[in-house]
A = this chain, B = another copy of it.
Amino acid sequence: KGDADAGKKKFYTCTGCHGIAGYRNAYPDYPVPKLAGQNEGYIVNAMNAYKAGERKHPTMRAQAESLSEQDIADIAAFLSQAK
């Protein structure tokens, strides 16, 4: 089960692109998905797809590979509650 508090810390690096509502998005012209409030299971599936190379995004694949199953669960728990 994901721990949202731990997830918040682990998500810090990701805010560079995935600016949560109110954060300045580092790549305004790059259409990055908004993740705050996203479906928890969808996030876990998407991260595992990046990890397995089923979803093809170099940066995301590298990020996903650096995260454990628990990290991903924590981040998904945090994001699904983020506003």
Contacts and interface: CB of A to CB of B under 8 A. Distances in A.
A44 interface: yes
A7 B31 CA distance: 19
What is the total number of copies of this protein in its complex? 2
Chain A's interface size range is 10 to 19
A34 interface: yes
12 contacts: A31-B39, A31-B41, A31-B44, A31-B45, A32-B42, A33-B38, A33-B42, A34-B38, A34-B39, A34-B42, A37-B37, A55-B55
Given A34-B39, A37-B37, A55-B55, 14 more contacts: A31-B39, A31-B40, A31-B41, A31-B44, A31-B45, A32-B39, A32-B42, A33-B38, A33-B39, A33-B42, A34-B37, A34-B38, A34-B42, A54-B56
